[in-house]
Amino acid sequence: MSKSRYRQRLQKDLDRWITGGLVAAENRDAILSDIADAPRGWSASGALAILGAVLMALAAISFVAANWTHLGNLVRLILVFGTLWACFLSSGWAFGRQQPALGHALALLGAALFGVAIVLVAQIFNMSSWRYTVLSIWAVGAIGTALVIPSRPVLILAALLGSSWVWAETFNPYAPGILWNYLPLWAVTVIAASRMRSLVTANLLAIGINVWIIFLLWDYAQDGRLSELQSSSVLILACGASAMLFAAFRDREWFGFGALANWATTLALFSGFIAQFPLDRFEARLGRNEEAIDGWLEIAGVSGPDYWLLAGAFMAILAGALAWRFMTRPATRTLTIPTLAAALAALLLPSLAGWLGGESILVLRVIVGVIVFALAIALILYGSREGRRYTGGVGIALFIAQTLYVYGETFGDLLDTSLFFLIGGLLLFGLSIAVIRLQKRITADAGAPS
């Protein structure tokens, strides 16, 4: 609904509520002015100016990339430097003339030209070791600009550059280990995003931090320090811990942390879902060749210190955030037991796999399958509450994905799968009837004379 339409509707509702005695007449103007003060999404002129700045920034990047030899190095440097200064000075002038849309667009172009200038210098001196570090330096420059103004469009650029940096280094075979420098950059950007109420930035930061977590685990897994199941378990716990931590901040009304929590929740559930894949692959291999049992250790792994260090740390964060929410947000208490149970299952899954051994692969697959189904159902039930639609939606998506997956892959043979679905279906029907009876009893108790 557009703001003007909302205002018209609110005016009518307010008049009706004042007539009905629900709202004091003297509060009418204050309520309407509060609507006027609230930050707007964007205007047509602002959007066009920002899009224009984006295209001009791309023109500058392409111009530098073309390495046009008709202009000397010094002329090109002066051109880029001059434009950068002109953008920032014009931006200050535009803000002073109460033209914020133009001011933001020019500041965005100025911040973009900072990166263009770094690329130009790197090109002039044939630098080859800079190529991803440039994104981090550029992001720092953009964050500085965004904080000084403050400017949401420039902050979006900073988040985009930070996420691009961690993404590029993830796929860079020469990346120097874990990118710890991303964390302070991320933290500063996320605080700025929360203060400036930038949802786009929050979503970009969510992508960045999740890529960073995957990068961290990949670094451990490629050295053989984590097996496939251990990697899956740590990923589930890492995403679960960050989801719970972000949700705790969301509970305290920190803007943008809802988006961060939603991304982390989705990735945690997706990680749980794909944890089944190595088990399926092993069972298929075992069916073709009995000697494949020797490969079980590669999947289950051994209880090395690296696993328990990582998994234990994330489990502690998750438990701490869960306890915090339990104490400060009573409405979230129903989620405590399913979350703890799922986290413990993820933590102990590699040990359980090692203990059962490769011969009991079917039992393990059924256990994991049941846990995924149970978690999906718990989320759907939790999502039936007001304001928890995203959680419910993710639960439904997980349930559908798991159902199709089990049907496609089958547990043992088709008869076993059919029996699995039959028992599951009967259990859900029974649960549904129990819930209906419980609700009726609660309604009857509430209506009975005391």
Backbone dihedral region of 253: left (phi > 0), alpha (psi from -120 to 50 degrees) or beta? left
Which of these ranges, 25-33, 68-76, 274-282, 407-415, lies near another protein under the rule CB under 8 A? 68-76
Interface of this chain with another protein, residues 254 to 273, rule: CB under 8 A:
none
Which residue type, as a one-letter code, is found at position 419?
Answer: L
Contact between 66 and another protein by CB under 8 A: the answer reads: yes
Of 89 and 302, nearer to another protein (C-beta) is: 89
User: How near is the Cβ of 37 to another protein at its closest, in Å?
Assistant: 20
For residues 221 and 271, what is the distance between their CA atoms, to the nearest angstrom? Answer: 15
131 touches another protein (CB under 8 A): yes
Q: Which stretch binds another protein (CB under 8 A): 112-120, 272-280, 308-316, 361-369?
A: 112-120
Tell the smallest beta-carbon distance from residue 38 to another protein (Å).
22
CB of 57 or CB of 259, closer to another protein: 57
Give yes or no for residue 81 binding another protein (CB under 8 A): yes
| Residue among 134, 131, 219, 232 nearest 180 (CA) | 219
CA 295/CA 301 separation, integer angstroms: 10
The 8-class DSSP code of residue 1 comes to -
Q: Pick from 61, 199, 200, 340: which binds another protein (CB under 8 A)?
A: 61
Taking CB under 8 A as the criterion, the residue among 46, 110, 162, 301 binding another protein is 110
The Cα 376–Cα 400 span in angstroms is: 9
153 binds another protein (CB under 8 A): no
Tell whether residue 141 is a contact of another protein (CB under 8 A): yes
Report the distance separating Cα 191 and Cα 317, nearest Å: 20
Nearest Cα to Cα of residue 326 among 274, 392, 251: 251
Q: Please, is 255 exposed, middle or buried when counting C-beta atoms within 10 Å of its C-beta (0-12, 13-18, 19+)?
A: middle
Shortest CB 60 distance to another protein, Å: 11
Cα–Cα distance, 313 to 8 (Å, whole number):
52
Does residue 84 touch another protein according to CB under 8 A? yes
Going residue by residue from 169 to 188, which x/- string records binding to another protein, judged by CB under 8 A? -----x-xx-----------
Q: Are 235 and 213 in contact (CB under 8 A)?
A: yes
439 binds another protein (CB under 8 A): no
Q: Is 447 in the site for another protein (CB under 8 A)?
A: no
Choices 28-36, 78-86, 326-334, 395-403 (CB under 8 A): range interacting with another protein: 78-86
| Residue placing its CB nearer to another protein in the complex, 55 or 148 | 148
Choices 2-10, 107-115, 179-187, 333-341; region in contact with another protein by CB under 8 A? 107-115
C-beta of 161 vs 229, nearer to another protein: 161
- Least distance in angstroms from the C-beta of 8 to another protein: 35
Q: Could you tell me which of 197, 167, 379 has the C-alpha nearest to residue 272?
A: 379
Q: Are 318 and 311 in contact (CB under 8 A)?
A: no
Of 14, 102, 105, 107, which lies in the binding site for another protein, with binding defined by CB under 8 A?
Answer: 107
The DSSP result for 266-326, as a single string, is HHHHHHHHHTHHHHHHHHHHHHH-GGGGGGHHHHH----HHHHHHHHHHHHHHHHHHHHHH
**Of these, 4, 126, 289, 450, which contacts another protein (CB under 8 A)?**
126
Q: Residue 285 corresponds to which amino acid?
A: R
Q: What is the DSSP string of 220-244?
A: HHHTTSS-HHHHHHHHHHHHHHHHH
Binding of residue 114 to another protein (CB under 8 A): yes
Q: Which is nearer to another protein, 97 or 333 (CB)?
A: 97
Among 129, 289, 387, 445, binds another protein (CB under 8 A): 129
Contact positions vs another protein (CB under 8 A): 61, 64-69, 72-74, 77, 81, 84-85, 88-89, 91-93, 95-96, 107, 110, 114-115, 117-119, 121-129, 131, 134, 137, 141, 144-145, 148-149, 174, 176-177
